[in-house]
Structure 1
Amino acid sequence: MSSTPLNPPTQLPSESAYSLRKLDQMSFAMVMPILAILGLIMLTAPTIIVLLASFSSSATLQFPPPGFSLQWYLSLFNFPELRAAALNSFQVALFTAIVCVVLGVAACLAMINSRGRWVAVMDALVMSPLALPGVALGLGMMAFFAMVGVRLSLFTLIIGHIVICTPYVVRNVLASLTQLGSSLQEASSALGASPTYTFFNVTLPLIKPGVLIGAFMAFLTSFDNVAVTLFLSDARTEMLPIRMWSMIENDLDVRAAAISGVLIFLTALLMIAMERFSGLSKALINGKA
């Protein structure tokens, strides 16, 4: 009996393989723009709705607005409680950003210059507030202050904001230090420069974009935080996010949308200024080149 020879495995012709790769590339090129547009719409739609509602002629929040009016923006000038709350939020956010920059840069320098196992533990500990819900974090810190006998005040509020804002500084500064490497610092030390001189004249100018972006994110996170502020602020210190939250919850006040419009405009201006000072786009372009 003659044995039947095994047929060799069929191979896909090169033309078919090329067609499949071409189809895969075309589908990727078609799907990704659609997903990007959908994501952009989902991110910007709430902001656009708030902006349109802030120009409403109605006395309560509703969308679409029945008419166009600037009265709610003009009414903000005769709102002393709002100015006091905005000033409190600005002061807390500014102080929080400064402390976060000092602590974050110091922690990053210690972690980048060490190879110990504690670095991974410290990084996880610092970044842990980002993994917890804001309500749980605020409630936990409030319970902790109650256990140690510390009354809620502006001091406890600033401590809470420092805890939740420091990760933004650490992540940005650590990324800048990682890209920088250690060759320039070692060269400066080899030439006789002190660690202080090396930091202020070599390291800090080179990581300035990361420091500025981290400080900017810490400031914004502290300024518009609701959950932690709600649990850690006392009754005498009124903060802008809590004021806006109560205006929407109790009265559906259109002035809350007008405040949001002002904050959106100021945030856009700060982002443009931060781009000019940090030079992030130039750094990205140079890195790609």
Structure 2
Amino acid sequence: MKWYEYVITDGRYFEPFINSIIVAVVATAVSLIIGTMISIAVVRYNFKLKGAMNSLFISPLIVPSLLLGIGLLMLFSQFGVTNAYVRLILAHCVLTIPYVVRSVVASLGRLNPSVEEASRVLGASPLKTVFLVTLPLIKPALIAGGFFAFIISFDELVVALFLTSSSVTTLPLLIYSDIQFNLNPSISAVSSLLIIGTVLLGLIGMKFIDKKDLY
């Protein structure tokens, strides 16, 4: 157990862990907002280039992370974006939005549009209908999309290799560095703690989903 004690008490892992949490939380929040808006537009409205828009926001799932990292590095360099936090958050949003879009689109496809129409007929504005009717009905999809977005962001390594700076290091980068240059049992301790944390996060998410919402 001394290696668990070392991981918890040694300050070496604390700052990268906090950096990963900050980036993952912000990226997840942004992805949920943008991904939900995109999903509602794609499912509920007809407009030109609808298919192209849907494909655009799904494309990061099929583009290799290495190419995505190089491309984003060139893009940020072109626009002079030097802040490591900003670069990481924007890059992680590109990676995580597709997971939110796929979850929410699937849920909206099963939702009867007449429920939303009834809300508008009874006097609710389109915005109120979204917040009071649509979002509560697709809550399981939002939780699932947020869960995947957070895990993908927290665990991202390849893209982060191109976009971090010497002053900002994430936990996956530190683990990767230790595997190469400082291999010791603390890496196994960190990995097992991350697995436990992921399981606990999933269980907490399930507590917010009513079983009746899944059927």
- Larger relative contact order (CA 8 Å, sep ≥ 6): 2
Partners of 2:98 and 2:207 in 1: CA distance = 24
Superposed CA deviations along residues 207-244 of structure 1, whole A, max 9, x for unmatched, are 01101110111011000100111111111111100001
Superposed CA deviations along residues 19-63 of structure 1, whole A, max 9, x for unmatched, are xxxxxxxxxxxxxxxxxxxxxxxxxxxxxxxxxxxxxxxxxxxxx
Tell me, yes or no, if structure 1 residue 238 matches structure 2 residue 146.
Answer: no
TM superposition shift of 1:140: 1.1
Residue 12 of structure 1 corresponds to none
Instruction: Give the 3-state SS of the residue equivalent to 2:12 in structure 1.
Output: helix
Residue 10 of structure 2 corresponds to 79
Alignment check: 8 A CA contact 1:185 1:198 kept? yes
Partners of 2:136 and 2:106 in 1: CA distance = 15
Instruction: Give the 3-state SS of the residue equivalent to 2:165 in structure 1.
Output: coil
Q: CA RMSD in A?
A: 1.4
Residue 63 of structure 2 corresponds to 132
Counterpart of 1:103 (choices 34, 48, 57) is 34
Superposed CA deviations along residues 261-280 of structure 1, whole A, max 9, x for unmatched, are 0000011111111122124x
Partners of 2:92 and 2:108 in 1: CA distance = 24
**Aligned residue identity for 1:246:** S
Superposed, 1:1-289 pairs within 5 Å as: 70-279=1-210, 282-284=212-214, 286=215
**Aligned residue identity for 1:104:** G
TM superposition shift of 1:254: 1.5
**Aligned residue identity for 1:145:** F
TM superposition shift of 1:152: 4.8
Alignment check: 8 A CA contact 2:103 2:145 kept? yes
Residue-pair matches, total: 215
TM-score by structure 2 length?
Answer: 0.95
**Aligned residue identity for 2:209:** S
Partners of 1:264 and 1:150 in 2: CA distance = 33
Partners of 1:76 and 1:149 in 2: CA distance = 36
Superposed CA deviations along residues 90-135 of structure 1, whole A, max 9, x for unmatched, are 0110011001011011111111122234221111100111101111
Partners of 1:202 and 1:283 in 2: CA distance = 13
TM superposition shift of 1:149: 2.8
TM-score by structure 1 length?
Answer: 0.72
TM superposition shift of 1:151: 2.1
Alignment check: 8 A CA contact 2:31 2:96 kept? yes
Q: Whose radius of gyration is greater, 1 or 2?
A: 1
Partners of 1:200 and 1:144 in 2: CA distance = 35
